Structure 1
Amino acid sequence: MKPSINIIWFRRDLRLKDNAALYHALKLGEPVLPIFIFDTSILAQLQDRSDKRVAFIHAAITEMQTELVAMGSSMQVFHGKPLEVFTELVSTYTVQTVFSNHDYEPYAQERDAAVADLLSANGIGFKTFKDQVIFEKDEVTKDDGKPYTVFTPYSRKWKAKLTPDYLKAYPTEKYFANFYKLSPFAIPSLASMNFEEVETVFPSKQLNEEIVRKYSQNRDFPALENGTSKMGVHLRFGTVSIRSLATIAAGLNETYLNELIWRDFYQMILWHFPKVGKGHAFKAEYEKIKWRNNEEEFKKWCEGKTGYPIVDAGMRELNATGFMHNRVRMIVASFLTKHLLIDWRWGEAYFANKLLDFDLSANNGGWQWAASSGCDAAPYFRVFNPYLQTEKFDKELKYIKKWVPEFQAFGYPQPMVVHEVARKRVLETYAAALKPS
């Protein structure tokens, strides 16, 4: 006779504490089997066999497995397509309900709908919960029920709606005894999935409250080692709870809290306007822009060889570490779209391939902001001057010297475009595309 269980399907919520779906699964009192799927549909799109994100997920899963084994349970980790995995699970167990947390991305929506259909055909429930944001979907809207497309009024409504209940942790630990008891399953190795081990030291999960306290004055200076919290990757994969970070931020620093609200805002935009996650400009008229899309210039940008030290430093930091400081992300994105007139989608895809904390909604939002095609974007006539940005945010050139030590040497390339010339060109190009017909 097949064992009767419920299943908790982990995706971007890789922790056992303060996890909404896990709480709802465990508190029913039935045995709960934890599973994770290394989705081959996603992995197949990754270009780098030493992708740091796969290694990060693998490390997080291994840590969770250690905790589960200590409780006499185990996570069952699969490498395959979700539909095939659930077909196997349904044949192995008598599954009552599958629990999971919401994912708002277009692929995730399609995947979850297909899995729900499969489960329903077998008489199995599929329950999902809000976990990776504080407010989702239609929870923060204008008074007429329509979604906000400008951040500031959205953030005001967000803060007005916030009560302690929204930040309350889910006490999963009270019900850990309800994990399904079984012998440990082996976790597929990175090598068995055709990925390589990486030597990266990932950021700590412990939020440094001193960083949060001084965030307002330090966050724009990329040379500061502790100017930002480096929590992006943990929020992306759910190794920390958004509720725990928002609780700390709400008490210490409103600027830091605003950065968490931006995450909610972009997830909400993706939910209401899924076209942005499928390669479309938020503002349709910006599809008319005539991009230059010079592949040789794009290659120089990718490699950090533009002749603009602050731009090159950012790209080299990204290529080496999978991280780029947020101020520098804006500078390099503005440079690609405005100075080089290269389609923001090229930059978005490059970041998607390289960023350790890559998140579709925030990455798309940031790139469309830089290109002026997004919601609440920089006006198109705003063109960051890399020299002025350097003067303001890396005056002593410490960040540049770290990543571009040769920037004053004979062999360092000349600027690939003159700022004033590039600015004139982009303003003329945008104006021509956006003029009323």
Structure 2
Amino acid sequence: MYNNNSSSTPSSSSSSSSEAGDMKSALFSPGEPLRQPRTTPPVSDGGAESRSPIPSGHNSSSAADALVKNSKLSAAAPEFVPGNYASFQDDVYSDGSEDYYPETSLADFVQDFVSHLNSSPGSFESEIDYITDMLNSCVTTEEILQELVELIYVQSTSIPNFAYTGARLCNHLSYHIRLSPVSGNFRQLLLQRCQNQFEQREQAVRGDPETQKRFHYYVLFLGELYLNLEIKSRKDTPGRANVLLGALKELLNTLFSHPDDPNLMCAVKLLKLSGSILDDTWKEKGQSDMDEIIKKIEDVLLDVKCSRDVKQMLLKLVELQSSNWGRVHTANVSSDATPDNDPNYFMNEPTFYTADGTPFTAADPEYSDKYQEILDREDYFPDAYEENGNDFFCGDEDEMDPEIEEAFERFCMESDARGKK
């Protein structure tokens, strides 16, 4: 009995050490890549069957068929949406709720979709209809409509770089918010709110830095509103809100009347944004308002001790206005265009390069000499260009590397052999 036990002990220990060695080699030695099991995991101790969607004993082909059968993907889908994409609508309904407004305030809803549009301005077109539908379901009284106007106005005049998207939002809502009480519709209430701030311009332009900052946001928002807010005339043709035209002129006068650096920088931004449109509109009306504004800028440059950077901005603005705001008008008839009357005459001409890499076109006064120099240079290397014009220098065949030559000959022989089959 003792002998049997003693004889079994070494084999048991050797078996254990062998298993340990196998486990060690399996852990630390690279092996073949793992594959998916062909069967489901074994039944648990409780005897319950596995809940795997793939029945036991099915092969990988059956597993793939099951995945395809249960998949929600469709080749006929109108568009592909990545799995990690989250739209504003997904954020609203993330809790499975069918109605968003009763669970939050109008202020929270406005802040949420404004934040979404500010971070993803490219989603404006795809999200605006949903936002409008939600607002129409919320705005049911005159008080709520006034609250909505105030909320959007505050967001548009306090968030940096949101003025443009805010103006587009206001233009859309002015046509699609259905509630229109006696006090005014969305657009009328918005213009009244802007008028209230306009009447406080003298106090705001002389206020503390924070007050000035909010006033400058308001000025730029009003400029964007003038460019984007459409008002239909009697002929049903949309046009700009001319009521804002006089307001913008007065705001510019207010800024130039208090010529510190922040006010001057705000005036420059407004003119770079809308100066060309304002200039055109005033000229159509036979008014010289832009000339008056340029005169104010020149007076500031002469009399005011503004910083060097702001002075450079003002000078660049005067140059921009004198060049018709950077716009170039082509000749009326293309056949009448000449290098003297059409700045775009040489626009479509090819660009050449001299030997030292200097670019030149047909508009260059020394075009003929430089182009002849290129022709002369090509004459020195008649074989340097292929017939298709690609820059590919063909060297002497004798200079071909022996290995390359051997490989090329082998390639030619194999090509001939394939051609004869």
Interval containing the TM-score (normalised by the shorter chain): under 0.3
* TM-score normalized with structure 1 length: 0.20
Highest relative contact order (Cα 8 Å, sep 6+), 1 or 2? 1
Whose Rg is larger? 2
Higher strand residue share: 1
* TM-score normalized with structure 2 length: 0.20
